[in-house]
Structure 1
Amino acid sequence: MSTRVLVARLDSDGDVLLAGPAIRAAAASGEVTLLCGPHGRQAAELLPGVSEIIEWTCPWVVPDPPQLDPADVHDLVDHVAAQRCDVALVLTSFHQSPLPLALLLRLAGLPRIAATSVDYAGSLLDIRLREDEDIPEAVRALNVAQAAGFALPIDDDGLLRVKVPPKFDGPHGYVVVHPGASVPARAWAPSLCAETVVALVEAGHHVFVTGGPGERELTARVAGDHGVDLGGLTSFAELAGVLAGAEAVVVGNTGPAHLAAAVGTPVVSLFSPVVPASRWAPYGVEVRLFGDQWAECRGTRARECPVPGHPCLNTISPDAVVAAVDELQVVAS
């Protein structure tokens, strides 16, 4: 009888994608139910190894959280209990505690729970990783799975991966510019994104500008008369197909950066240091990292830039980004 594993990753699409190697390790030994939040659902649906998805809005994880509803919590406990899982892997970022969820999983009858926790866990965790090394988040998650006895198959390279996305019918050798970010402090100025599109086209590149349904005004502005505006026109799976066909993706620290990594596309990363690049830079692909990693906002986890002018990103020149794209082209060839 195979092991039934609950894997929990309750935040956003990028976080869920970074849990992919840990999920595949668990799936190699059993059947995986993924507990995710509403902002991670579309990424969860793309991950190999996931048999079932439970979506829950976690009031201590999501931005603009709802009030804690006891009935909602009881429903989650009942739903998880019905899965009759043998073990849970609670995957969190370095600044999050796994203990509130571990308590709920205990109430749901989970007999074995593994997580990384710098706080004393008492009887809430059976396997507690205490170290908090400055390592990529994908590795951090995989360490939890390995500590619980789950190993990747020998032919699995441990990189990010998604199911084969729909093929995008674009010209050969195009570049994607994704100007938006879920957190404003991680976004490059739209004017600079627009200048970069012009510079890329003048350098001989076809450029597609991508974004979600709520970013259509932004993508139209950035695409201008030079790029092709795909804002709001792709599902997350279709976006994976667009990124997979690109020679490079210009993007901030946001979910599509990790989606690009998951389809193996090089990334020009416009990375605000509000969180550490050592943990959150695109994992496992060629990356050219831009952004002052020692700026005043370093490590603040700020949603809005606390420094006037957003200098950590807005001092990056479009010409430097174009040069990085060209360099990645040379490396790929």
Structure 2
Amino acid sequence: MTGRRRVLVVRLDSMGDVLMAGPAVRAVAAQPDTELWFLAGPRGKSAARLLPGIDELRVIGIPWITAVDRPVDAALVAEVNALVAECRPDEAIILTAFHQSPLPMALLLRLAGVPVIRGASVEASAGLLDGRWIPGETFPEDIPEPERNLAIVGLAGYSLPEGDDGRLRVTLPAERPAALDALPEQYLVVHPGAQYPAREYPADHFVDVVRLLTQAGHAVAVTGGDHETELTARVAGSTGIDLGGRLDLGGTAIALAGASVVVVGNTGPAHLAAAVGRPIVSLFSAVVPPERWAPYGVPLELLGDRTAACMGSRATLCPVPGHPCLTSVTPAQVVAAAERLLTRA
């Protein structure tokens, strides 16, 4: 034991969700004599490694939060028990989105022996959570996700230190990837991929966006993961700089940090761009509300038909023929939005 009070902060979702927990993590970590352990899921661990304030990171795949190929069984219970035995937290704080319940995780942590467990739940939680914080009653519900997370840790007594503006933040790796040597001093980034098809701007539109930007005299880098190399090569074409599959998350953060503007859909790299303070053209599908999940705390051009029939459906596959909430946005409109942000810089 270190003699410091240990707090286990739990956020088990994807990259963007973990990045939006960053201000709450800093609020907990700022308290004197506090050691912060963070429990992430497999999809969020790379983002958690970039967050300031985390002393120890652990990873467990929880199938009711993100799609992981494992059952809810005794092995899962044993894994949580082992984490608690190693960490021995004085308190756990479970961060969840509005459509999630903290109670299943709270039950596992309670059975493992965590003495104090905090979280926000619309469901009765006696014996599982210490105190009942009700979203929509204890704190407003239609607020940006970083503010929701801050509200939850704030109810537990944690607040940001003086001088912390509450924006997203990451610690950039010290080593710059060699792949970035191809970038000029001034460039824009286009990130065409998204985790779910319902949030994807059409690839053909992205091809035209890159073409129009380069015709206007801008250098354009196209980013994407290992599974998106075919997409990034297509979008970059002969004029863009294809970085698809050549960067890990830290390298992507460095690439985004150097960009004048980032063009991206509602996906994790949008929040990574916000965490490095870049202006963003956000191609935001109507399936989730931008009031909660739009890029936070940076200059923003939000594009997309937010009144489309898919509004608020949380669909992963677009339920409306033609995907009109995003296909209605023309490449020329995307380029005009980027130019407006460049003018404001």
Question: Per the shorter chain, which TM-score range?
Answer: over 0.9
Query: Paired residue for 2:185, among 150, 172, 175?
Result: 172
| CA RMSD of superposed structures (Å) | 1.1
**Structure 1 segments of 4+ aligned residues over 3 angstroms from their partners:** 165-169
Mapping 1:291-302, distance limit 5 Å: 291-302=304-315
Whether 1:39 aligns to 2:81 is no
Structure 1 length-normalised TM: 0.97
Aligned mates of 2:121, 2:44 — CA distance in 1? 22
Deviation of 1:84 after TM superposition, in Å, equals: 1.0
Counterpart pick for 2:238 among 225, 229, 237: 225
Alpha-carbon distance in 2 for matches of 1:173, 1:264 = 16
Is the aligned partner of 1:88 residue 2:92?
yes
Q: Which moved more, 1:319-328 or 1:255-264?
A: 319-328
1:133-282 equivalences in 2 (<5 Å): 133-165=141-173, 166-167=175-176, 168-169=180-181, 170-282=183-295
CA distance in 2 between counterparts of 1:97 and 1:40 reads 18
Corresponding residue to 1:21 among 20, 23, 31: 23
Which amino acid in structure 1 is aligned with residue 231 of structure 2?
L
Query: Is the aligned partner of 1:5 residue 2:13?
Result: no
SS in 2 for 1:116: coil
The equivalent position to 1:56 in structure 2, one of 41, 55, 60, is 60
Shift in Å at residue 331 of structure 1? 1.0
Deviation for aligned residue 1:203: 1.0
Q: Is the 8 A contact 1:127 1:147 kept in 2?
A: no
Rounded Cα–Cα distance in structure 2 between residues aligned with 1:127 and 1:8: 17
The gaps in structure 1 that reach 5 residues or longer are none
The residue type paired with residue 188 of structure 1 is Y
SS at match of 1:127: coil
1:117 corresponds in structure 2 to 121
Give, in whole Å, the separation in 2 of the partners of 1:128 and 1:194: 49
Q: Which of the residues 325, 337, 341 maps onto 1:312?
A: 325
Shift of 1:65: 4.5
Deviation for aligned residue 1:63: 2.2
Instruction: Output the amino acid matched with 2:306.
Output: Q
CA shift digits 1:200-255 (9 cap, x unpaired): 00111100000000000000000011101000000100000000000111000000
Counterpart secondary structure, 2:305: coil
Is the counterpart of residue 69 in structure 1 residue 94 in structure 2? no
- Kept in 1, the 8 Å contact 2:98–2:135? The answer is no
Structure 2 unaligned segments of length 5 or more: list them.
Answer: none
Residue by residue over 1:56-81, the C-alpha shift from the partner in whole angstroms, topping out at 9 and shown as x without a partner, is 01010112552223122212222223
Q: Provide the C-alpha distance between the structure 2 equivalents of 1:270 and 1:327, rounded to a whole number of angstroms.
A: 15
Describe the SS at the equivalent of 1:134. Answer: coil
Aligned counterparts of 1:78 and 1:131: Cα–Cα separation in 2: 31
Contact 2:80 2:109 in 1 (8 A): no
Q: TM-score, normalised by structure 2?
A: 0.94
Aligned amino acid, residue 62 of structure 2: C
Say whether the 8 Å CA contact 2:11–2:96 is kept in structure 1: yes
Q: Give yes or no for contact 2:27–2:153 (8 Å, CA) kept in 1.
A: yes
Distance 1:66 1:173 in 2: 45
Select between 189-198 and 116-125 the one with higher mean Cα deviation. Answer: 116-125
Q: Which amino acid aligns with 2:186?
A: G
2:61–2:68 Cα contact (<8 Å) kept:
no
- The secondary structure found in structure 2 opposite 1:308 is coil
CA deviation vs aligned residue, 1:69-127 (integer Å, no higher than 9, x gap): 31222122222232111111100110000000000111121111111111111111113
| C-alpha distance in structure 2 between counterparts of 1:82 and 1:174, whole Å | 46
How far apart are the structure 2 equivalents of 1:190 and 1:331? 28
Number of residues of Structure 1 aligned to a counterpart in Structure 2: 332
Residue 128 (structure 1) shift? 2.7
Q: Once structures 1 and 2 are overlaid, which stretch shifts more, 116-125 or 208-217?
A: 116-125
- CA distance in 1 between partners of 2:67 and 2:78 (Å): 22
Amino acid of the structure 2 residue aligned with 1:96 = Q
